[in-house]
Amino acid sequence: MLQDAAPISVPEGASAMTIEVEWEPGDPGTPPHRHSGPAFGYVVEGAVRFELEGEPERVIEAGGTFWEPGGDVIHYQDGNALADARTRFVVTMMCAPGQPMLTLVDKEELEKRAYLRAPRPTD
């Protein structure tokens, strides 16, 4: 078993999309965003810097999995954690009917919800 996630809530009438994402070395990935339904991923190559609202940032290496509940939860990071190699992952996302698969979160909302973000790592 690679991943076991619970609880999972899939919007009624949801559709699913599976995509392969490839980040070049050091690519920061998608800006802060959210999905209308849950997403499940598998890192094929490299390492993903992953951060969900309320959870500490972590690095998921090749062979590792991730999931997020979707809905209101902000996905802060999903970029390449490696400065010298590319990263590839496959992700299946559930999309609520009539809603976009991915919605970017604006700066104003990030500021309002800053208290929900886990403390940032220090260098």
Alpha-carbon distance of 19 to 89, in angstroms, equals 8
Strand order in the sheet with 39-45: 15-23, 87-95, 39-45, 65-68
Helix (H) or strand (E) holding 110, with range, is helix 107-112
Alpha-carbon distance of 60 to 103, in angstroms, equals 23
- Please list the pLDDT of the chain residue by residue as tens digits (123 residues): 888 887 788 878 989 999 999 999 999 999 999 999 999 999 999 999 999 999 999 999 999 999 999 999 999 999 999 999 999 999 999 998 999 999 999 999 999 999 999 987 764
Q: Is residue 36 within 8 Å of residue 71, measured between CB atoms?
A: yes
